[in-house]
Amino acid sequence: MNRQVTLAARPEGEPAESDFALVESEVPEPGAGEVLVRAHYLSVDPYQRGRMSEARSYAAPVQLGEVMTAQAVGEVVQSADPRFSPGDTVVGQLGWQEYAVARGSTLRKFDSQPETAALHVLGTTGFTAYFGLFDVGKPLPGETVVVSAAAGAVGQIVGQLAKIAGCRAVGIAGGPEKCAELKERFGFDAAVDYKADGFSAALKEACPDGVDVYFDNVGGGVSAAVVGRLNVGGRIAVCGQISMYNDPTGAPPMPGGFGFLIVFRARAEGFLVTDYLPRFPEAERRLSRWLADGALRYEETITEGIENAPKAFIGLFRGANRGKALVRV
């Protein structure tokens, strides 16, 4: 049998476990050009919150009763595509389920170790950090790069890439443990706890030369504090707005408005990692090299069991994860 997590209800505000259902179905058979994959790890990502809603976005919503969309890495068990053989490790948009049939053309073979890296540092979140920082943020040596949700999957990589680029890396994260880890394990120059009293003053102290690049993962009040410290010509790579994803009131994404763009002659630019698809091999090659050199590290928060995928997902909005959130199935 195949166990699947489906969307049971559209959440209002923070998602609840009751918005999901665990169902069983037959293991599907691959047709011509298709591959049957047994998932080993499922990805848990903030963008899935958007797919649970019917609001207009860059991708279609998951329908009620459908398997939750997600990336997964696993092993080919049956192949009707000559490019794949049983035993191959592949990554793709396979959903929160134990077995998935996918067209071979949508799968990526993954030969590096560990296989979980396909879902983070050598996959979507690593590529997001790479293109968002280098192509959108365009950091120069000696500049200050600030990243929010810095202890998460994208953020941890952004800060380390900023160091590789010769910048001062400043992370913003929730809680003293996450902040200490950013400095001690991931080499950030400074880390600021946005949940602590005196956040703005601490941010100012952490950025004595102002902020040249802001990699924004959260939006809201945290981002308003950062943009107040921009230097003239500052760049904001708008990657995510997680503080807004559960907000049904539609609070402004940038409290105080966008006047700062004029004051600092700054540029804010949104991007989607999928727009860089043709350049994924470049990102994978360079990130692999930095990993092998020891210049880049990563962290995983692994939840056991497909039945706990909803809990792991809800945890993203409460800061329960460090580094990449994954589910082992």
Kindly state the smallest distance separating residue 199's Cβ from ligand NDP, in Å: 11
Interaction between residue 95 and ligand NDP (CB under 6 A)? no
Q: Answer yes or no whether residue 302 interacts with ligand NDP by CB under 6 A.
A: no
Spell out, one character per residue from 201 to 220, where the chain touches ligand NDP: x when CB under 6 A holds, - when not.
----------------xx--
**Is residue 268 close enough to count as binding ligand NDP by CB under 6 A?**
no
Tell me how far apart the alpha carbons of residues 329 and 318 are, in angstroms, rounded to a whole number. Answer: 23
Number of residues that bind ligand NDP (CB under 6 A): 30
Q: Tell me if 316 contacts ligand NDP by CB under 6 A.
A: yes
What is the closest distance, in whole angstroms, from the C-beta atom of residue 129 to ligand NDP in the complex? 8
Measured distance CA(286)–CA(48) in Å, rounded: 28
- Provide the minimum distance between the beta carbon of 236 and ligand NDP in the complex, in angstroms, as a whole number: 13
Interface characters, 7-36, with ligand NDP (x: CB under 6 A): ------------------------------
The CB-of-195 to ligand NDP minimum distance in angstroms stands at 7
Q: Which of 17, 21, 23, 47 binds ligand NDP (CB under 6 A)?
A: 47
Binding to ligand NDP by residue 179, rule CB under 6 A? no
Radius of gyration from C-alpha coordinates of the chain: 20
Q: Is 199 exposed, middle or buried (0-12, 13-18, 19+ CB in 10 A)?
A: middle
- CA atoms of 260 and 136, how far apart (whole Å): 18
Closest CB 222 distance from ligand NDP, rounded Å? 5
CB of 27 to ligand NDP, least distance (A): 29
- Under the criterion CB under 6 A, does residue 126 sit at the interface with ligand NDP? no
Task: List 52's β-bridge partners, or say none.
Answer: none
CA 133 to chain centre: 14
Which candidate, 238, 328, 69, places its Cα nearest to that of 226? 238
Give least dist CB 285 to ligand NDP, A. Answer: 20
Binding mask 152-171 toward ligand NDP (x if CB under 6 A, else -) reads xxxx----------------
How far apart CA 225 and CA 235 sit, in angstroms, is: 15
What's the CA gap between 2 and 4, in Å, rounded?
Answer: 6
- Report if residue 199 touches ligand NDP, rule: CB under 6 A: no
Residue 107 binding ligand NDP, by CB under 6 A: no
CA 36/CA 160 separation, integer angstroms: 36
Of residues 224-243, those binding ligand NDP (CB under 6 A) = 239-240, 242-243
DSSP state of 53: S
Sole window of 75-83, 146-154, 223-231, 284-292 interacting with ligand NDP (rule: CB under 6 A): 146-154
User: Is residue 317 within the footprint of ligand NDP (CB under 6 A)?
Assistant: yes
**Cis (ω within 30 of 0) for the bond into 176?**
no
Q: Are the C-beta atoms of 227 and 266 separated by less than 8 Å?
A: yes
Closest separation between CB of residue 175 and ligand NDP, Å? 6
What span, in angstroms and rounded, lies between the C-alpha atoms of 172 and 253?
17
Q: Could you give the 3-state DSSP secondary structure of residue 1? A: coil
| Pairing between β-strand 34-43 and β-strand 324-328 as defined by DSSP bridges | antiparallel
Within 8 A by CB and 6+ apart from 259, the residues are: none
Rounded Cα–Cα distance for residues 169 and 174 (Å) = 17
Is 98 a binder of ligand NDP (CB under 6 A)?
Answer: no
Interface residues with ligand NDP (CB under 6 A)?
A: 45-47, 124-125, 128, 149, 151-155, 173-174, 178, 217-218, 222, 239-240, 242-243, 271-273, 316-317, 319, 321, 325
